[in-house]
A and B are shown apart, each in its own frame.
Chain A
Amino acid sequence: MSKFKKDGDKHTPAVSTASLPDIVFMLLFFFMVSTVMREVDLKIVLEQPEATEIDKLENKALVDYIYIGEPVNTNVYGSVPRIQLDDDFATVEEIQDYIVSRRAERSEAEQGLVTVSLKVDSETKMGLVTDVKQELRKVQALKINYSTAQKADATKF
């Protein structure tokens, strides 16, 4: 054992922490780039159903969102599923106006390319979803996307 103790009085130098900021900055940039700010404050419970045959929604600027689900604050808003447009609850009748006003904000070239993303809670009944779809048909917003989570498909591996 004395073999190893010979130069025991030497202290191992402290690990340099000078590169720590660089590492943290690297992480920071990763998160800044790979994440997006949530556009709206969700006032509904949103637990999306899972599916496998799904496509990615390209180009965020050309997407309008409609949220449907049970309000988070059931004491105030009740537990009947509601529609949320931007930051407020809305009725089925207001969807037409919403889509039209969103359409007016865009240039003419983009108007045909807009997708409406339906973010619906999986507990919701189809009645409300169907009403929303009928309203979308009336304003010719025909490109829709049922937002879902990605299901791990065992057969694909």
Chain B
Amino acid sequence: MARGKREIQEINAGSMADIAFLLLVFFLVTTTMDTSWGLARKLPPPIQENQPPPPPIKDRNVFVVLANANDQLLVEGELMDIRRLRESAKDFIANPRKADNLPEFKEVDVPFFGKTMVSKQVISLQNDRGTSYDLYIQVQNELAAAYTELRDDLSRSRFGIGYNELEELTKGENPDPKYKKMVKAIRQVYPQRISEAEPKDIGS
């Protein structure tokens, strides 16, 4: 080499921060925080043509919730505010005073609880085509909350732990199968039965 030995210059890293900032801003702008939460539900299978009609259910076992196109609720024949729905649904599901007009009970053998009186409750939800989606979700949410609160009370009095914490324990790497059985038992005492009627179009 004619020039001879030359010291290799160090690369200036001063602009590194700028480059990193540029990337950072790009990711900040183009991405959204993951918000995939929601109410999980299961739809009933489609009706077969030659399917026999389901056996009739006694009126006292059904909690009828109707929502109309003006976003008003008719619960068991009574106009009701959405804020009172949770309490009245809880009252119906548990039927603590064994009232005659609230659901009947059936003795079921449930693990952890022994012979338990399980109510034959069904919640029937019907909405109009003009009902807003917002109200529909609020109703679904309140009804689910009614079940969760009852299950939570039961879980606390029997196992001394909240229902949500118990459900949390069934997840993860190596959950104790005992917890799954406990959750299952609680669900057996308060089974979530929300049935949706085929939609009607009334006055929208």
Contact residues of A with B, CB < 8 Å? 17-18, 20-21, 24-25, 27-28, 31-32, 34-38, 49, 51-57, 60, 63, 115, 117-118, 120-127, 129-130, 133, 136-138, 140-150
Contact = CB atoms under 8 A, between A and B. Distances in A.
Given A53-B144, A126-B132, A149 B35 contact: yes
A136 to B, nearest CB: 6
A142 B31 CA distance: 30
A63 B20 CA distance: 33
B121 interface: no
A126 B31 CA distance: 30
Contacts of A20: 17
Contacts of A25: 20
Which label, helix, strand, loop or mixed, suits the secondary structure of the A interface? mixed
28 contacts: A21-B13, A27-B24, A31-B28, A31-B31, A37-B30, A49-B138, A51-B38, A51-B39, A51-B140, A52-B145, A54-B37, A60-B36, A126-B127, A126-B136, A127-B130, A127-B201, A138-B46, A141-B43, A143-B42, A144-B40, A144-B42, A145-B39, A145-B41, A146-B38, A146-B140, A147-B36, A148-B39, A150-B37
A137 B43 contact: yes
Interface of B: 13, 16-17, 20-21, 23-24, 27-28, 30-46, 127-134, 136-138, 140-141, 144-145, 148, 199, 201, 204
Given A53-B39, A126-B127, A34 B44 contact: no
B199 A55 contact: no
A57 B131 CA distance: 26
A36 B32 contact: yes
Contact of B33 (A27, A35, A118): A35
Given A125-B129, A126-B131, A144-B42, A55 B32 contact: no
Please name the 9 residue pairs, one residue from A and one from B, whose CB atoms are nearest each other, closest first: A127-B129, A35-B31, A122-B134, A53-B144, A57-B36, A24-B20, A51-B141, A21-B16, A147-B38
Nearest to B23: A28
B41 A146 contact: yes
Contacts of B17: 17, 20-21, 24
A126 B35 contact: no
Contact of A53 (B23, B136, B145, B204): B145
